[in-house]
Structure 1
């Protein structure tokens, strides 16, 4: 080590800080080793400086790089955890520039089991954070409480695992008994108590995004009048128990994520705990330039996110309301009740009253003409539909199936207690399984003698379809032929139709021309779904639902040349 290595260390740091994605650092293992080396050298020198490198700079920059899992693993492997505990607890170091960032780094490492066990076995450090969490130190106490809560949670999980691994003695009937032969009560049934949710919703966010998150909170509170838990006064970590209790008592959790959220150990604690409790999670993206990665991507998975970073507030808020309505029955009822208008409520008049039973039950005499007329299946269906409209069933059930809206279907499934099957239909559905067409578009014009003699090519057909597409009222790029779409157009189209799970199949760089070629090639395959499903599973570790494939195919079909479509 010398001036050359010092220069290299500075270069590694600058290049790393310039990288927009912390998960894509160059040589992260070497970077982690360099930081452990300079940590060990600077803490033992006078003025905490070694080769013109100061301890404060090393700690502050390591707080950024520790978010990279490979850097974190290397720091743990080379005993960086014990050095950081010294930096965090030794009173000779400055509280703001050394102790606080060192403790925050340890909070980030505690999610690694190896680091967690090392910290838990360090009695001096445990005593230090225990005392600190009970102190009135407003600087270090919040972080100390966060570290202690995470370690206590790990200890509790280990204890439960050990308890579950203890062999249980059973009698000849297979019933668990104690050492005296007495039957042991079922601990699972005893411990299984009904959860009382005191909050309908919890909003988890990083305080760098507080302006937008508070705006979302105010709109939800004023519109739905529901119980929402949100940390307005920046209590993250300072009251870790309150945060845990809020998640325990909330049915749904909004994760308002951004790059800052992903780097926050406090936010990670909240998201991980909610995920472990299997709470309903709705991802809400705050920053259009950030895509979930690392631990955050593992938690969010393939969930459909609400994009406040890309869309205007009103549109994104409408998407959020729709997501809440879909994921939780109570929110569905709240939103439906809020949307009702007084004008929709009217009293029953004499004209609204059903006819007397004698009149309705009276069967008309059959004429000679009707006796001779054959009864077809279509006639029978028409008669049944007419009868259905005249009954006293709810309005939605009086209509033919193809006229039902998405709300009608949701209500029907909930009413008949079969809502468990709703996810099979996907995110967008209605009573008609075919695209709506008008009489004009369905009507085929008679071909003239000239057109009969002219051969119709796939290109001609596609040109006609594209022309029709441009003449419709579809917004923006959807009026253009597919080959003219940009990457942003495709991203928006896939997100709008809830098929963004298939975007990785297109690679990193794509446009409308590439998507058109991709679809045309796919159309020639007889097992397209199996090909896409296997590729998504093997290369991207994602499962492709069949309904997403159907949506992908039907939504893009109008833009594909007719001669290229699969039969």
Structure 2
């Protein structure tokens, strides 16, 4: 196997944290630096691959410490930043930016609530492998009045500074997940920076059956995915807009704590004890996003929706809201999926169409109103904001 082929294979392997640790232990970093610097490699892909591996390694603290000690390499990176070779220029730019961030040790401030201080509503972080569907998402968002930042043409020059500026000035960072995204050190740099800043992240699934693992799995852990491979584009896009609206309202509730509630909509909450026993009565939280797993179970029992209990095991309010959005995007397909789930539990009554529709109707009172959705009738909700 040639050195170039070896480095090309190593680009994929180095995504795994254990591989990073082992490469640092066996002192691979100085060898990779030689691949970038030495003149006899300059007419091959070796410097590009070595730079990309070093960029991925730099997310490991021990590897970063080794790189920081290589003064000659740091000086060489500044030369490469002006290279006419785009891939070399980009790799050098990203590495220098990461070193600058480490030196400055900036205090990562948490993204605030929806405010006019944001220049953009959304920053789209994606791999150019997935550009077709990402551009379609971008065009739909712009059509619907969102201010969106996207790198459509793979910028030249100080690309990482521009990306960082977009992340800092966007209300949401949408992460378009795929294996190509996970494999890209440039995408990792963007996602990692957004994660450090505690930005509001919305993960999208670009490829069928894709499950994020490794560093990407950690960054999106616990977040609701919008799956563009599972639903028709319009349905998935509708779920994305609902998720944006949900996060905006949830943030506004937390930040302002100024909620106007119709007292007629206050519903007694039943504890998670058995259906036949007396239960202490408390109020449901003001918004579905604040519901715990017990709140969800009590809502189902209180509304005689017990056949749905096995469909929503360990669901909190945020997950139940996502399920509601999926039902709105594809009512028939979701009914079939939920009914099939219930059938596997012999002790639970079968799910009827009447029960399914009643579930949607009862839950609707707790769903934030999307002011851009004219089809949603203007009933009072528990999440109604001034």
- The TM tier, using the shorter chain, reads 0.5 to 0.7
CA distance in 2, matches of 1:473, 1:207: 32
Which fold has the larger relative contact order, with Cα–Cα distance below 8 Å and residues 6 or more apart in sequence? 2
How far off is 1:96 after superposition?
Answer: 4.0
Structure 2: segments with no counterpart, 5+ residues: 110-114, 253-259, 268-284, 306-331, 349-362, 364-386
Q: Aligned residue for 1:286?
A: 206
CA distance in 2, matches of 1:195, 1:277: 19
Q: Aligned residue for 1:114?
A: 62
Q: Aligned residue for 2:359?
A: none
Question: Cα–Cα, structure 1 residues 125 and 148, in superposed 2: closer, same or farther, change >3 Å?
Answer: same
Q: Say whether 1:198 aligns with 2:146.
A: no
CA distance in 1, matches of 2:247, 2:239: 12
Assess if the C-alpha contact under 8 Å between 1:306 and 1:319 holds in 2.
Answer: yes
Alignment of 1:175-254 (within 5 A): 196-223=117-144, 225-235=145-155, 239-254=159-174
How far off is 1:135 after superposition?
Answer: 4.0
Alignment of 1:251-290 (within 5 A): 251-290=171-210
How far off is 1:424 after superposition?
Answer: 1.7
How far off is 1:425 after superposition?
Answer: 2.4
Assess if the C-alpha contact under 8 Å between 2:123 and 2:173 holds in 1.
Answer: yes
Assess if the C-alpha contact under 8 Å between 1:195 and 1:249 holds in 2.
Answer: no
Query: Tell me, what secondary structure is at the counterpart of 2:121?
Result: strand
Q: Aligned residue for 1:319?
A: 239
Question: Cα–Cα, structure 1 residues 226 and 137, in superposed 2: closer, same or farther, change >3 Å?
Answer: same
CA distance in 2, matches of 1:426, 1:96: 56
Q: State the Cα deviation string for residues 187-218 of structure 1 (Å, max 9, x = none).
A: x9xxxxx9931111101111111111111111
CA distance in 2, matches of 1:272, 1:137: 26
CA distance in 2, matches of 1:481, 1:199: 41
CA distance in 1, matches of 2:134, 2:333: 34
| Structure with the higher fraction of residues in helix conformation | 1
CA distance in 1, matches of 2:333, 2:8: 55
TM-score if structure 1 supplies the norm length?
A: 0.47
Q: Aligned residue for 1:88?
A: 36
Q: Aligned residue for 2:220?
A: 300
Assess if the C-alpha contact under 8 Å between 1:208 and 1:260 holds in 2.
Answer: yes
Question: Cα–Cα, structure 1 residues 473 and 265, in superposed 2: closer, same or farther, change >3 Å?
Answer: closer
CA distance in 2, matches of 1:208, 1:302: 26
Instruction: Give the one of 401, 421, 424 matched to 2:290.
Output: 424
Structure 1: segments with no counterpart, 5+ residues: 1-52, 162-187, 189-193, 333-393, 403-418, 439-471, 484-511, 521-550, 552-567
Question: Cα–Cα, structure 1 residues 278 and 479, in superposed 2: closer, same or farther, change >3 Å?
Answer: closer
Assess if the C-alpha contact under 8 Å between 1:201 and 1:228 holds in 2.
Answer: yes
Question: Cα–Cα, structure 1 residues 149 and 195, in superposed 2: closer, same or farther, change >3 Å?
Answer: farther
How far off is 1:134 after superposition?
Answer: 3.4
Q: Aligned residue for 2:375?
A: none
CA distance in 2, matches of 1:309, 1:104: 29
Question: Cα–Cα, structure 1 residues 149 and 475, in superposed 2: closer, same or farther, change >3 Å?
Answer: same
Assess if the C-alpha contact under 8 Å between 2:174 and 2:201 holds in 1.
Answer: yes
How far off is 1:60 after superposition?
Answer: 1.2
How far off is 1:287 after superposition?
Answer: 1.4
How far off is 1:66 after superposition?
Answer: 1.2
How far off is 1:265 after superposition?
Answer: 0.6
Query: Tell me, what secondary structure is at the counterpart of 2:87?
Result: coil
Q: Aligned residue for 1:363?
A: none
How far off is 1:481 after superposition?
Answer: 7.2
Q: Aligned residue for 2:354?
A: none
